[in-house]
Structure 1
Amino acid sequence: MKKRVCIWILLGLMTFSVGCGKEEVVEEPEIVEVVEEVPEVVEEVEEVEEVVDLTGKAPNPLTGLYIDEDVINRRPVGIVISNIHNAIPQIGIEDADVIYETLVEGGITRLYAVYQDVTGDKIGPVRSARHYYLDFAFDFDAIFVHIGGSPQAYDAIRKLRAPNLDAMSSSVAYKDPSRKSPHSTYATKDRIMEIWEQKGYRTEKDPAFVNKFDFSEEIKLIDPEKVEKVILDFSSYHYAWFDYDADAMNYKRFQYLNYKKTGTGEHIDEGTGQQLVFDNIIIQLASVWNIKGDSAGRMDMNLLTEGDGYYLTRGEMVPITWSKKSHNEPTRYFDVNGDPLIMYPGKTWISVFPTNRTDKLLFE
């Protein structure tokens, strides 16, 4: 803001009376402009911190993220998902809190998608059980959803009294006529809840059950290595990888399900058209072998033991160890100091990868 002040300066008024009768000469006064600077007043704007209303919310034990508190103590649901090229694209798996992947016969993998609060009217394709997938269910005290299974799987279900919903003997899933069998079976939330009730299985978590994961927004990895890509070459048929997205701070999932490795590899959920992304990646190294004398070449693996692995989050990777003492206890993960692994809240992908193929496990 400027003020203008006019100051009249009288430079001189001279009067001449020189006897020749000349007129008086009067000089005009000069106007000088003076500018006075006045500092501008800046109004301070007070920042208002956004308040999130968590009324009726509680941390999801599978992700650490807040969800409706009325589902926190419910038993999770885990569904065996087909992951062969004829089954792609899958649907409803983007909503899973945790997804396991490991080998079955023929060099292909199968998924086990775990939901604290299962939703949706189409999830699948649902596929047959393998006995070691039951340990993934026991990791969360989860209901096990499948369609059929190997002889070893049915034997384990009986011996371990695993709470399972089998689409071979119930209406927990339906057939989609537009998809080719055996990759045409899909579960729904309503069907799962209906058959669950009919079976009379416990709906609440065992109070003595210890959660598999520990979460915190403030974690400090011990001597992490910068890793932007991890490649899991399961077999000549199945090649998977994750790329780190620094802007979103999560990992995008890719896979090739053919020998020629054609296409973009983006792992898409048909229901949303979105690529699968995860906040945490756990690679659990385990001994895997073919069952001797099994005509189908089925696999077995040792999950009731201790082993090594890796944890990736926010573009960094650290070595870890893991331990599972019994079927009914969850697999626990530990850092290099032997302390329980603390993870960032979010969705987790767990790849159980063969120890005899660690040369095919690459970090970039």
Structure 2
Amino acid sequence: MKKNYINYIAILAFFFLLTAGCGRTGGDKTPTAETPVLTPSEQSEPAIEELMVKNPLTGLGMDKDRGGRRPLAVMIENETSARPQSGLNKADVVYEALAEGGITRFLAVYLGEDAGEIGPVRSARPYFIDFAMEYDPVYVHYGASQSAYSDLQKNRNIHAIDGIYDRVTFWRDKTRKAPHNAYTSTENILETAQKRGYLKPIDLKRWEFNEGGDSLPGESLKEFELVYFKNYTVKYVYDEDKEAYVRYINEKPHTDRKTGDPIVVKNIILQFMDTRVIDSEGRLAIKTTGSGTGYYISNGSYTRIKWQKPGRFEKTEYTVEGGGQLKLNPGNTWIQILPSQDKFKISD
């Protein structure tokens, strides 16, 4: 009798252990009041860090670490011996205006992308300083006219890097002749600016952008020319696939030196400004303040605009014909400064 009792207890213990083991190995476990089931909407998901921010110069996304950083504004030459240039295709905004001799010069503004080679870098002019200061940038040039040096010395808010006195930031390309061979890069500029304490954080607000692909209505414009001088003509031709304009100089594609690719532009602003010769060297004075007229060109069409700039270092405001602030389509912008409206020729 005692032996049967012991066997009975052993069998019960065996089944108890087996049942407990099955509970630990998982399987389909029936939920109880103490273990509620969470629906997908109730389950928590890991937070995803936002890695991109909106570029205030293009309306496109850029790396988060560029947010609040000062742009870099670089003077770039455009004489025949300077072409093709390097880095214009990486700039968010580019100004083109006449310099002496009937040729133009560029001011290229960088924020959203790095450029491993920029140049050839050339000297400053007062009106280019006016354009640059609308972005509170680190201003980069290689020399300057006397009046431009005066402006740079008087205004302590201008943080400039001059290749005449700073050779570390620049290099000379031996395959080209001086003075058309001074180059720099965004990396070099940022390193120098960091050492000098120029990289202060800023809250840059420059343009408003059309959201959702809405474009400003206007008249069709697939091709047009800008005649800066009798032997120097810029042409833009609209590319339907790229939804942007391909740029030409004297009937040849304007290409990047490093890639060989043509420069493509999303937004083009034509701005007419009073221009006059001021010395025997042919240097110019361009009246950047006051008000005037122009055109906004994008997505294969154009519309008339007006511009107004209260002071030299204040922002230029653009309004569309009939009123309302100009909103750009997301992408890069080239601002073409022209002496008069008859320099703008629409192709038939």
Class of the TM-score when normalised by the shorter of the 2 chains? 0.7 to 0.9
| Correspondent of 1:276 among 236, 256, 263 | 263
Distance 1:169 1:309 in 2: 38
1:195 partner letter:
T
2:346 partner letter:
F
Q: 1:347-362 counterparts in 2 under 5 A? A: 347-355=332-340, 358-362=341-345
Per the TM alignment, residue 337 of structure 1 is displaced from its structure 2 partner at its CA by 2.4
Instruction: Work out whether 1:163 is the aligned partner of 2:159.
Output: yes
2:276 partner letter:
W
Are residues 83 and 146 of structure 1, via their aligned partners in 2, closer, same or farther at CA, if it must alter by over 3 Å?
Answer: same
Unmatched 5+ residue regions in structure 2? 1-47
Q: Provide Cα deviations, 1:146-199, integer angstroms capped at 9, x if missing partner.
A: 000100110111222321110111122111111111110001223212221232
Q: 1:12-161 counterparts in 2 under 5 A? A: 55-117=50-112, 119-161=114-156
Per the TM alignment, residue 134 of structure 1 is displaced from its structure 2 partner at its CA by 0.7
Distance 2:213 2:138 in 1: 32
Q: Give 3-state SS (helix, strand or coil) of 1:135's partner.
A: helix
Distance 2:80 2:206 in 1: 34
Are residues 307 and 217 of structure 1, via their aligned partners in 2, closer, same or farther at CA, if it must alter by over 3 Å?
Answer: farther
Instruction: Work out whether 1:246 is the aligned partner of 2:243.
Output: no
Are residues 147 and 227 of structure 1, via their aligned partners in 2, closer, same or farther at CA, if it must alter by over 3 Å?
Answer: same
User: How many corresponding residue pairs?
Assistant: 298
Distance 1:131 1:202 in 2: 23
Q: Give 3-state SS (helix, strand or coil) of 1:132's partner.
A: helix
Would you say the 8 A contact 1:215–1:344 is kept in 2?
A: yes
Would you say the 8 A contact 2:215–2:299 is kept in 1?
A: no
Per the TM alignment, residue 135 of structure 1 is displaced from its structure 2 partner at its CA by 1.4
| Correspondent of 2:190 among 193, 200, 217 | 193
Distance 2:313 2:115 in 1: 28
Deviates more, 1:185-194 or 1:270-279: 185-194
Per the TM alignment, residue 220 of structure 1 is displaced from its structure 2 partner at its CA by 4.6
- Whichever of the two has the greater Rg, that structure is 1
Would you say the 8 A contact 1:92–1:122 is kept in 2?
A: yes
Distance 2:58 2:150 in 1: 32
Instruction: Work out whether 1:172 is the aligned partner of 2:169.
Output: yes
Distance 2:297 2:131 in 1: 20
Q: Give 3-state SS (helix, strand or coil) of 1:191's partner.
A: helix
Per the TM alignment, residue 234 of structure 1 is displaced from its structure 2 partner at its CA by 0.5
Q: Give 3-state SS (helix, strand or coil) of 1:320's partner.
A: strand
Other-structure match for 1:228: 222
Instruction: Work out whether 1:287 is the aligned partner of 2:282.
Output: no
Per the TM alignment, residue 118 of structure 1 is displaced from its structure 2 partner at its CA by 5.1
Q: Provide Cα deviations, 1:258-316, integer angstroms capped at 9, x if missing partner.
A: xxxxxx5100001111000011110011111111xx22110011111111000011111
Would you say the 8 A contact 1:311–1:320 is kept in 2?
A: yes
Instruction: Work out whether 1:321 is the aligned partner of 2:299.
Output: no
Distance 1:147 1:297 in 2: 19
1:286 partner letter:
M
Q: Give 3-state SS (helix, strand or coil) of 2:131's partner.
A: helix
Distance 2:257 2:212 in 1: 31
Per the TM alignment, residue 210 of structure 1 is displaced from its structure 2 partner at its CA by 3.5
Distance 2:93 2:298 in 1: 15
Are residues 288 and 297 of structure 1, via their aligned partners in 2, closer, same or farther at CA, if it must alter by over 3 Å?
Answer: same
Distance 2:104 2:305 in 1: 23
Q: Give 3-state SS (helix, strand or coil) of 2:253's partner.
A: coil
TM-score by structure 1 length? 0.78
Sequence identity of aligned pairs in percent?
36
Distance 1:277 1:118 in 2: 15
Instruction: Work out whether 1:297 is the aligned partner of 2:297.
Output: no
Are residues 282 and 201 of structure 1, via their aligned partners in 2, closer, same or farther at CA, if it must alter by over 3 Å?
Answer: same
Other-structure match for 2:315: 330
Would you say the 8 A contact 2:120–2:183 is kept in 1?
A: yes
Would you say the 8 A contact 2:53–2:67 is kept in 1?
A: yes
Distance 1:103 1:303 in 2: 13
Would you say the 8 A contact 2:91–2:110 is kept in 1?
A: yes
Would you say the 8 A contact 1:210–1:330 is kept in 2?
A: no
Would you say the 8 A contact 2:70–2:111 is kept in 1?
A: yes
Deviates more, 1:298-307 or 1:134-143: 134-143
TM-score by structure 2 length? 0.82
Per the TM alignment, residue 123 of structure 1 is displaced from its structure 2 partner at its CA by 0.9
Q: Give 3-state SS (helix, strand or coil) of 2:272's partner.
A: strand
Structure richer in helix, relative to its length? 2
Other-structure match for 2:12: none
